[in-house]
Amino acid sequence: MLRSPKTTLLAAGALLLSLACQAQKPLKKNEVLLFSYFKGNGEDGLHLATSPDGLQWTALNGDKSVLTPAVSKDKLMRDPCIIRGTDGLFHMVWTTSWHDRGIGYASSKDLVHWSEQQEIPVMAPEPEARNCWAPEITYDAPHKQYLIYWATTIPGRFQAGESKLDAGYNHRIYYVTTSDFKTYSPAKVLYDKDFNVIDASIQPSGRRYVMFLKDETREPVQKNLRVAFADQAAGPYGAPSAPITGKYWAEGPTAMQLGNKWLVYFDKYTEHKYGAVTSTDLEHWTDISDQVQFPKGARHGTVLRITKQELAQLPK
């Protein structure tokens, strides 16, 4: 059936309005926010904080660790990332060591009792790989699988970005996929745009995906956060945007939609505190670092929504 131009415009407008409403994700009455993070070098394990508004955060368990690291020779739990899976479990990955070729993994039904910790040897086939840093998980709904991704340096693999500074690290973002956290695809490059890149964090945004990332370039110095977009979770992702974090040496971004705004929290690691920027269009950013308050010493965390019932089970 043919439609008039007016009818087509109305239909298109309704679709855009529907997509806009779907993009707005205010907290439900039964929801609060949870922030997973580490302190120090990550030797004492997982820390948690909660917030009713995304601005003021209160440490749980007296700001003591709620889970002690148990894998790798270094037994660290840095950069903990928790996602709620489609199977009803919470899945967590983390950095186990400065120099391992694997990442940590555990799951939980309630954020209190965790499965036996495992080390996933994601870069075992690359004997020259120097590290696996800041792993995160994103659910790829169209393909019914999870992406686990992280930063690795393999000496000599990429010429662009090489430097003798920062211990000669020259990272790219790699990833594996899994549907059950038991079997994993071989590792592949997820993001390489001819510069040193770490700390990727991917979120769905309407019909596309947005990657928040750190430009780790040392010469000339960058050390800022940017965004890149793709039509699919596994890419290909486009060129990085201009910096979204201004003058700060920033790392460890974690992002969420709250109402009609995006909130991106980041570790202002040279200042030993947290900052945040906000945007309604993922293009124009406003710094709201003076409005957020995190537990003292919080490092590189991730944010997720939980219910008030789930919060009630966590140690205060």
Cα separation, 306 vs 30, whole angstroms: 8
Cα separation, 274 vs 286, whole angstroms: 15
Which range marks the domain in which residue 51 is found?
26-313
Expressed in angstroms, the distance from the first to the final Cα of the chain is 61
Q: Tell me which DSSP letter residue 6 carries.
A: H
Residue 19 — pLDDT band, cuts 50, 70, 90?
very low
Q: What is the mean pLDDT of residues 175-184?
A: 98
Dihedrals phi, psi of 19, to nearest 5 degrees: -65, -40
Please enumerate in sequence order all residues whose Cβ is within 8 A of that of 127, keeping only pairs 6 or more positions apart, or say none.
none
Instruction: Retrieve residue 157's tokens.
Output: 């693999």
Residues listed for the chain:
316
The four Cα atoms 219, 224, 225, 228 give a dihedral, to 10 degrees, of -30
Q: Is residue 60 part of a domain?
A: yes
Cα separation, 186 vs 167, whole angstroms: 27
Q: What is the pLDDT of residue 315?
A: 96
Q: Is the separation of the CB atoms in 215 and 187 below 8 Å?
A: no
Percent of the chain exceeding pLDDT 90 equals: 91
Q: What is the pLDDT of residue 248?
A: 86
Is the confidence at residue 2, as pLDDT, over 90? no
Q: Is residue 50 part of a domain?
A: yes
Percent of the chain exceeding pLDDT 70 equals: 92
Q: Is residue 151 part of a domain?
A: yes
Q: What is the pLDDT of residue 25?
A: 80
The amino acid that residue 255 corresponds to is: A
Report in angstroms the alpha-carbon separations of 135 from 165, 197, 247, 316. 23, 13, 25, 27
| Range of lowest pLDDT (7-11, 99-103, 286-290) | 7-11
Cα separation, 314 vs 20, whole angstroms: 34
Q: Which residues of 68-94 are buried (b: 16+ CB within 10 A; e: fewer)?
A: ebbbbebbbbbbbbbbeeeeeebbbbb
Express each pLDDT in 109-166 by its tens digit.
Answer: 999 999 999 999 999 999 999 999 999 999 999 999 999 999 999 999 999 999 999 9
Q: What is the pLDDT of residue 14?
A: 38
Q: Is residue 247 part of a domain?
A: yes
The amino acid that residue 93 corresponds to is: V
Q: What is the pLDDT of residue 193?
A: 98
Q: Is residue 1 part of a domain?
A: no
Is the confidence at residue 9, as pLDDT, over 80? no
Q: Is residue 8 part of a domain?
A: no
Express each pLDDT in 212-266 by its tens digit.
Answer: 999 999 999 999 999 999 999 999 999 999 999 988 899 999 999 998 999 999 9
Is the confidence at residue 18, as pLDDT, over 70? no
Between residues 7 and 233, which one has the greater pLDDT?
Answer: 233
Instruction: Retrieve residue 9's tokens.
Output: 């415009």
Q: What is the pLDDT of residue 247?
A: 82
Q: Which residues of 258-292 are buried (b: 16+ CB within 10 A; e: fewer)?
A: beebbbbbbbbbeeeebbbbbbeebeebeebbeeb
Q: What is the pLDDT of residue 240?
A: 98
CATH number at residue 237: 2.115.10.20
Is the confidence at residue 177, as pLDDT, over 80? yes
Residue 51 — pLDDT band, cuts 50, 70, 90?
very high
Express each pLDDT in 68-86 by its tens digit.
Answer: 999 999 999 999 999 999 9
Q: What is the mean pLDDT of residues 191-214?
A: 97
Number of domains the chain contains: 1
| Range of lowest pLDDT (18-22, 85-89, 97-101, 207-211) | 18-22
Residue 8 — pLDDT band, cuts 50, 70, 90?
very low
pTM for the predicted model, two decimal places: 0.92
Placement of tokens 């555990």 in the chain: 106
Average pLDDT, the chain: 92
Q: Is the separation of the CB atoms in 166 and 76 below 8 Å?
A: no
Q: Is residue 9 part of a domain?
A: no
Q: What is the mean pLDDT of residues 96-115?
A: 98
Q: Is residue 20 part of a domain?
A: no
Express each pLDDT in 301-316 by its tens digit.
Answer: 999 999 999 999 999 9
Please enumerate in sequence order all residues whose Cβ is within 8 A of that of 289, keeping only pairs 6 or more positions apart, or say none.
268, 274, 275, 276, 277
| Range of lowest pLDDT (14-23, 41-50, 162-171, 302-311) | 14-23
3-state secondary structure of 242: coil
